[in-house]
Amino acid sequence: MIYKLNWYDYDESYSVGTSGSDGGIIVRDEEHSFGARMTLEEDGSFAPFSITCAIYGWMSHTRFFSAEPEANEEFDQMKIELEKILSLVPADENADEDTLDEISDEISEFVEKFS
């Protein structure tokens, strides 16, 4: 399956240069049209670089890095995997139990893969 990345600059890039959730300066901030956001911060509370990603209403996950090239590479890989999960999330709040289980499993695999 080919995924078309529907990512765009969050808040028209106005958030870049401001303080992020990890206490660092936002250097990259993107949102997905289906309801997700990824932020890359520099000089945060715990590491030189951090990525925080969220699927609205479903999950939030943060990773830490010592070098910017690795953080940017992982940011791009995480976007692809998040989009796969987003494709499973129903447009309305009425999902059957099997769908909810599948989404939960995919989120768990994502967190394990990107720990």
At CA 27, angle to CA 25 and CA 28, rounded to 5? 130
pTM, rounded to two decimals: 0.90
CA 48/CA 69 separation, integer angstroms: 12
pLDDT digits (tens, 9 = 90+) for 37-51: 999 999 999 999 999
Please provide the DSSP assignment of 52-67 as one string: EEEETTTEEEEEEES-
Under 8 Å CB-to-CB from 88, ≥6 apart: which residues?
Answer: 99, 102, 103, 106
State how far the Cα of 17 lies from the Cα of 96, in Å rounded to an integer.
41
Domain limits, the chain: 7-113
Residues of the chain with pLDDT under 70: 1-5
- Using an 8 Å Cβ cutoff, are 47 and 65 in contact? yes
